[in-house]
Structure 1
Amino acid sequence: MNNLSILYLHGFNSSPQSLKAQLTEQYLAKYYPGVTFYCPQIGASPQAAIKQLEQLLTGNSEQNWCLMGSSLGGYFSTYLAEKYQLKAALINPAIRPFELLTDYIGRQQNPYTGEIYMVTEQYMQVLQALYNEKISKNRYLVMVQTGDEVLDYQQAVDKYQDSQVIVQSGGDHSFINYQTMLPDIMAFFGLPAHD
């Protein structure tokens, strides 16, 4: 694929410094140096995040985009994949974060960046407005681990049942041994296997 660009969306209270983002960037640099990797610090509010990500995608529309998303980033990736007809690889994706994150309403601090911000009721309403009840078939590669202590992996299995779903026993929300899945992700994006 010419001009392939991968946009990696980190999760709630995370950053481009997260381990999965770093491992992905290193893997691409080693095996697929022609692929452009984007992993921005996503805005703290859903409105800011989606506006920022849509500007990136539409401002570079000549590129062939594929999405990767972890946790809340998986939720945003699903919204963007449906809107722009893109392929997306999701790692332990959040399915209904507007329900999951109600415990976090109030003051938050991102442990990576130190940014302090507020999670409000409006934050949840905006998240809910991004929800896609129905999703396209064969647009997603979804990877979950049954030991995820944050999300119910079965929700993802049910939501993405018409997609490629990989369920691993055990693990946790960080997705243990994530780097071993990178060849599967790149194959899903149509990249040739490396030696």
Structure 2
Amino acid sequence: MPTTHLLYLHGFRSSPQSAKATLMAQHLARHHPEVHWWCPQLPPSPRAAMELVRQGIADWPHARMAVVGSSLGGYYASWVAQQARCASVLLNPAVDPARDLVRYIGEQSAWHDPSQRFYFRPEYVDELRALDTRGLPPAGPEFAIIAKGDELLDWREMVARYPHAKLLLLEGSDHGLSDFAAHLPAVLEFLGLAAAAA
């Protein structure tokens, strides 16, 4: 069944203006205007971010929805998929952000608009830990796109985290998947949206 509701979760310091989110939004608007697309600006608090998402998808048909997440958004996407029992697409997903983001405690600037600043508080690390779904079986189909060229996250750790996922392992690329346009057709096929994509 084709996806009718699609949630996109951006990464740490990122925004709905990310290149991947923008590319997906433009493609859906052009080829699949019937799909309900939502890419919210996530607050820095993981608990607040997931509460925003939980409220936003409360009325969505879980059997026909999917979530796409990049980096920290991929970590969040696995939590959302567990809650909604839905399909997920994981783009260089963070595996243990509670470990990795400790060094970012303090004031941070937004990637797409450095004038926008936020404070990553120490308690957010515990909030991240509370969202960890490692050890749980997948709640729905998973598709992971993982780049060996990721300069921030260890591709081996990502691959090991998602043993049941359909896997597209890229020999090069980078953390932001700057070649995402080349892989968008595979994402659309996974979401059941490839037929009318031409």
TM category, shorter: over 0.9
1:62 to partner: Cα distance: 4.1
Q: Where does the alignment leave 5 or more consecutive residues of structure 2 unmatched?
A: none
- Where 1:25 maps in the other structure, the secondary structure is helix
Q: TM-score, normalised by structure 2?
A: 0.91
Aligned: 1:164 with 2:166: yes
Task: Spell out structure 1 runs of 4+ moving beyond 6 A.
Answer: none
Partner of 1:11: 11
RMSD: 1.7
Equivalenced residue count is 194
Partner of 2:128: 127
1:61 to partner: Cα distance: 2.7
Q: TM-score, normalised by structure 1?
A: 0.92
1:71 to partner: Cα distance: 0.3
Q: Which amino acid aligns with 2:131?
A: L
1:117 to partner: Cα distance: 2.4
Partner of 1:116: 117
Aligned: 1:90 with 2:90: yes
Partner of 2:154: 152
Percent identity over the alignment is 34
Partner of 2:72: 72
Q: Distance in 2 between matches of 1:136 and 1:42?
A: 26
Q: Deviations over 1:92-139 (max 9, x none)?
A: 100000111111011112233544322222110110110012243462
1:68 to partner: Cα distance: 0.4
Q: Distance in 2 between matches of 1:24 and 1:61?
A: 19
Partner of 1:37: 37
Partner of 2:48: 48
Partner of 1:61: 60
